[in-house]
Structure 1
């Protein structure tokens, strides 16, 4: 989380738009919320489901159809 907060706090025009996705084993709802509140764009729980990861990455970088809302994706 510290890394995300540091990136978002940078004095750079792209600091707010750099895609950051959490990939972690911490999959409780409060863990997901903490990642999003830190400034991450999305959260993917381990073990990684590649199809889900591809949908989330596509949404975050603005390509393809939007995936199911990250907070509602099967964890």
Structure 2
């Protein structure tokens, strides 16, 4: 599965299936969102990827830390330096 990364109004980073936006639950919990990246790094078959995939399969999104986002996505420079 391919993923997309979004940043919510409260600064929360959310991973969702590529082609989708964060579901209503994420919107209600974290506010409006901005698409950051679809450029996933090749981490398939890793425990991190498996963990994210399981949660996304279950709830259609996964909240991740900045460190995780930087590990699995090519992201805009502002996310790297904030």
TM over 0.5: no
Q: TM-score, normalised by structure 2?
A: 0.30
Which has more radius of gyration? 1
- Higher share of residues assigned strand: 2
Asked which structure has the greater RCO (Cα within 8 Å, sep 6+), the reply is 2
TM-score by length of structure 1 reads 0.31
